[in-house]
Amino acid sequence: IMPGWFSEINPMWPGEAHSLKVEKVLFQGKSDFQNVVVFKSSTYGKVLVLDGVIQLTERDECAYQEMITHIPLCSILNPKKVLVIGGGDGGVLREVSRYSSVEQIDICEIDKMVIDVSKEFFPNMAVGYEDPRVTLHVGDGVAFLKNVPEGTYDAIIVDSSDPIGPAKELFEKPFFESVANALRPGGVVCTQAESIWLHMHIIEDIVSNCRQVFKGSVSYAWTTVPTYPSGVIGFMLCSTEGPPVDFQHPVYNIDEAENSNKSVGPLKFYNSEIHSAAFCLPSFARRVIDS
């Protein structure tokens, strides 16, 4: 990209493109999986772009990383083993590290360049890797999950890019089946589930796959992220058969709780009220998702 403006042009959101003013291009590289760019924007801090798609900005990453992490983890009590798929920047790790109950945090990110770039340019996200409970696996999340013994994890967070490129299979039914297998009874998964404004057809497929695979609860939540396409992004929350999980009513209050990792600072976005509110859907989305 050139100094000037970055526009996020992509067939997944035809006819529109959000733009950010570029102050300086800090990194451009090509990994085995994707093009990796970091630039300093005028108003959103540093920005990570993969294959032309914004993955995060320093200014609004809290809205995404806190919601994708705390909605599932506050819906169960005392999570001990947590798996993150994707999320190579470390932001979700940073959020998981707040829980003192957690004993093991595994992460499987496909692209080592994302991890290296994050450690160089996004220290507030890469701080997640400093937690001694974290084990990093560099590889494909689909293959990783196939080898996880049944019932291993209390929670799995799928912080994945869009279904064009290396994340394609992370939106398909066989992947959800391995997720369900890797969770304990009553365990929870939260996956990045696109925008109600742009991707109702994708969401409809995810919901229908998840209803078949997960015998506990299946719910859709969403949040605002100004630099994601259409300014909103959603999450698919599912639990396996076992102790029932009511995602809309958190059983743990992380904003009042002691923060086991003092180096990451207070929550910026998530609280118990916004957790519950995230499940209120506009009527057009409710018709598709709840039908």
Catalogue the active-site residues.
159
Rounded CA separation 188/179 (Å): 9
- Of 171, 192, 182, 172, the C-alpha closest to 87 is 192
Closer to ligand AAT by CB, 106 or 109: give it.
109
- Give the shortest CB-34-to-ligand AAT separation in angstroms: 7
Contacts of ligand AAT in 10-29 (CB under 6 A): none
Stretch that binds ligand AAT, among 14-22, 165-173, 265-273, 280-288 (CB under 6 A): 165-173
Residue 280: exposed, middle, or buried by beta-carbon count in 10 A (0-12, 13-18, 19+)? exposed
Q: Which one of 80-88, 94-102, 146-154, 210-218 is the stretch in contact with ligand AAT (CB under 6 A)?
A: 80-88
Please identify, using beta-carbon distances, which residue of 60 and 140 lies nearer to ligand AAT.
Answer: 140
- When asked if residue 76 is in the footprint of ligand AAT (CB under 6 A), the reply is no
Q: Which of residues 87-126 bind ligand AAT (CB under 6 A)?
A: 87-89, 91, 108-111, 114
Number of residues that bind ligand AAT (CB under 6 A): 29
- Nearest Cα residue to 227 out of 35, 49, 4: 49
Q: How far is the CB of 91 from ligand AAT (least distance, A)?
A: 5
Contact pattern for ligand AAT over residues 214 through 233, marking x by CB under 6 A: --------------xx----
Region of 166-174, 199-207, 256-264, 267-275 interacting with ligand AAT (CB under 6 A):
166-174
- Least gap, CB of 233 to ligand AAT (angstroms): 6
Cα–Cα distance for residue pair 96/87, rounded to 1 Å? 12
Residue 39 Cβ vs ligand AAT, minimum distance, rounded to whole Å? 16
Rg (CA), the chain: 18
Of 64, 76, 74, which is closest to residue 98 (Cα–Cα)? 74
With b meaning 16 or more CB within 10 Å and e meaning fewer, what string describes 118-151?
bbebbebbbbbbebebbebeeebbbebbeebeee
Minimum distance, C-beta of residue 168 to ligand AAT, in the bound complex (Å): 8
Residue with tokens 């937690």: 131
* CA separation for the pair 195, 77 (Å, rounded): 29
Question: Residue 122 Cβ, how far from ligand AAT at the closest point, in Å?
Answer: 10
- Furthest C-alpha separation in the chain: 53
196 binds ligand AAT (CB under 6 A): no
Q: What is the DSSP string of 44-59?
A: S-EEEEETTEEEEETT
Site residues (vs ligand AAT, CB under 6 A): 50, 53, 55-56, 65, 85-89, 91, 108-111, 114, 140-142, 159-162, 166-167, 170, 192, 228-229
